[in-house]
Every structure is written in C-alpha cells, then in structure tokens.
C-alpha cells in the first residue's frame, strides 16, 4: 500500500519533517530501508461503494491538487486489470488541475510511469488484435494536466517532449506519405493496391479509416490553462458513442468522478448535468461520484 500525503500543516507537517529527517540520515546499504512508525488511518468518506468501475464503457477522473491521489488509485487498478479482459472501458481520461508546476512535480514520476505502462499494454493489445491473436481489448489512459496559474506564454517542463502524446494531436504530412506508412505491415501482394489507393484519394480515405479505427490513444499533455469541463465530458461521450457504434454494440455507461475543492466538484457536477439527453442515453447512462475537500 502506498500512502500519498500533502504537507498541509499540523500532523502532516510533522510527518513531512519526519520523512525528510529519515531520508537525510539514511546512507550506504541502509538507504531506503525506512523504519517502523505507528500511525492511524481514518477514512475515506464516501468512495465508489459497490460500483463496478470495470463495467463502464469510459471513465472520466477529474482531480484538483492533491485530489489526484483518488484518481491515480482508480486508474492504476483499472490498468493493472485490463490485460485480464476484466475492464470494459476503451478509455480512462484523467484531468488534473494544479495551481503551479511545483504542486505537480513530486508526483510526475508516478504519473509518467503509469502512462508508460498503459502505452505498452495498449500497443501490445492493438498489435495482437491486428494479428488475430486472442488479446483482451485495450484500455487507454489519457492524462491532461492543467496549470491554472501559469501564463499562457510560459513554457511548461512537467512532461518531457518524448512523452507528449495526445489523441488531439494531428500528424503532419501528405496523404501519400500516410499511405506509404500503411505498407509496413502489408504483404508485398497488396502494395499495388496501396499505389492505386494513393491515386484515388476518396477510396484511400476509407482504407485509412479502417486502419485507424483502433489507434493507440494513451498519452499525457500539460498546458497552462483552465479546462472547459463541459467540452471535455461532451467530447468523451461522443467518442464513446462512436466507438461502440462502429462495433455494433451498446455502450455500458460513462463514469465521472471528481475529487478536489468544493468549486471543482460543483463545476464537474454541472458539466455532467449539462450533457445532452440524447448523448446520456446513447452512452448508456452517466454516473457521477464526488469526493470533496471539506465537510
């Protein structure tokens, strides 16, 4: 079990100072050995209860500040169970809001490792399914970090360039180059078909759509802005509906959870309420769960 605590004064400040002193005193072969500490853990209050998160078609995890601990626990559990075929969701979207980069940096190693694991499993599953192997359906983890008190012109350093991936990114290049890339996993007998398709773009676009119907989605982005939760939730609902219609199956619901200050939880609840009725029905229903800071 991993406990993540924020230094918010009082006993959390004493715990922080204790851990810093322990870290400073550790050296040589005993480094990282730790020590025994007696603590009392209270809570959490509320939680998902008997809700089976693995049964939903998509999940949206909204977090503010240290509320990321709630979202990380859910995301980690779903991604670890995904290779067994126990998770129905195609996407798990995590939206994390922090005031400054400094608030996010202590957890970035954990976040990036989780995204890396998600990309590895999702890629293996997609390639396995293309090869007709009996792989469980992939589950993607998409993390968006919003730094709300950072000028839009300021560069962010939270996410290394090599790991900036997002389904919203648009690849540049001509359509012909895309068609050439498609031949990488095609037998030689089909290369003439690709040449024909590159000269007949309307037919080529259909083939590209077939190839990209299950692209790799896992990734992480960071931007200096405030998120529009209405747009985010609406777009994820659209994606969920389209994904299931392509496969001629019904969606099994969308799960939205918010953990953070009162204002964030209320804004998320309002965004869920604002979702159009036809989308709510098509997605299989929307379930909202909240974890508030305060009483």
Confidence of residue 144 (pLDDT cuts 50, 70, 90): very high
Whether residue 18 lies inside any domain: the answer is no
- Cross-strand pairs, 219: 142
DSSP state of 199: H
Give the chain's domain count: 1
Residue of higher predicted confidence among 34 and 224? 224
Give the residue among 27, 121, 25 at the shortest CA–CA distance from 81.
121
Whether residue 163 lies inside any domain: the answer is yes
Whether residue 106 lies inside any domain: the answer is yes
| 226, 24 contact by CB (below 8 A) | no
Whether residue 284 lies inside any domain: the answer is yes
Confidence of residue 5 (pLDDT cuts 50, 70, 90): confident
pLDDT for residue 135: 79
Burial of 76 (0-12, 13-18, 19+ CB in 10 A): middle
Alpha-carbon span 250 to 240, nearest angstrom: 10
Weakest-pLDDT range from 10-24, 91-105, 112-126: 10-24
Average of pLDDT values for 29-47? 66
Confidence of residue 188 (pLDDT cuts 50, 70, 90): low
Confidence of residue 210 (pLDDT cuts 50, 70, 90): very low
Token pair of 204, please?
Answer: 């080529």
- The SS3 of residue 211 is helix
pLDDT for residue 153: 76
The separation between the first and the last C-alpha atoms of the chain, rounded to the nearest angstrom, is 26
DSSP state of 190: G
Confidence of residue 26 (pLDDT cuts 50, 70, 90): low
Whether residue 73 lies inside any domain: the answer is yes
Residue 157 has pLDDT above 80, yes or no: yes
Average of pLDDT values for 279-284? 96
Four-residue CA torsion sign, 79, 80, 81, 82: positive
Token pair of 268, please?
Answer: 């998320």
Token pair of 124, please?
Answer: 């293996």
Whether residue 245 lies inside any domain: the answer is yes
Task: Characterize the bridge pairing of strands 91-98 and 286-292.
Answer: unpaired
Quote the domain boundaries for residue 54: 46-167+215-292
Whether residue 35 lies inside any domain: the answer is no
Four-residue CA torsion sign, 263, 264, 268, 274: positive
Burial of 288 (0-12, 13-18, 19+ CB in 10 A): middle
pLDDT for residue 170: 27
Whether residue 124 lies inside any domain: the answer is yes
User: What mean pLDDT, rounded, does the chain reach?
Assistant: 80
The CATH number linked to 231 is 3.40.50.80
Weakest-pLDDT range from 65-79, 108-122, 208-222, 238-252: 208-222
């Amino acid at each position: 079990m991993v406990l993540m605590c924020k230094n918010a004064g009082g006993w959390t400040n004493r715990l922080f100072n204790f851990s810093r002193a322990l870290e400073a005193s550790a050296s040589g072969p005993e480094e990282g050995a730790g020590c025994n500490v007696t603590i009392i853990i209270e809570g959490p209050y509320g939680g998902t209860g008997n809700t089976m998160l693995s049964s939903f078609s998509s999940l949206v995890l909204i977090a503010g500040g240290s509320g990321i601990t709630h979202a990380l626990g859910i995301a980690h559990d779903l991604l670890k169970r995904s290779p067994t075929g126990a998770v129905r969701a195609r996407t798990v979207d995590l939206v994390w809001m922090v005031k400054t980069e400094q608030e996010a940096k202590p957890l970035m190693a954990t976040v990036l490792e989780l995204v890396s694991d998600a990309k590895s499993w999702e890629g293996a599953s997609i390639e396995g399914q293309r090869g007709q192997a009996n792989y469980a359906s992939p589950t993607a983890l998409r993390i968006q970090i919003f730094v709300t008190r950072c000028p839009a012109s300021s560069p962010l350093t939270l996410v290394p360039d090599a790991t900036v991936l997002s389904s919203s990114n648009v690849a540049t290049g001509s359509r012909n180059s895309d068609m050439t890339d498609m031949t990488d996993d095609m037998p030689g007998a089909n290369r003439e078909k690709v040449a024909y398709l590159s000269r007949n773009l309307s037919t080529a676009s259909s083939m590209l759509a077939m190839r990209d119907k299950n692209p790799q989605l896992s990734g992480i982005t960071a931007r200096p802005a405030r998120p529009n939760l209405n747009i985010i939730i609406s777009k994820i609902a659209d994606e969920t509906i389209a994904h299931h219609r392509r496969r001629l199956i019904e969606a099994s619901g969308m799960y939205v959870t918010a953990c953070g200050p009162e204002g964030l939880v209320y804004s998320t609840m309002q965004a869920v309420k604002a979702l159009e009725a036809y989308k709510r029905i098509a997605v299989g229903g929307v379930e909202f769960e909240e974890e508030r800071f305060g009483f």
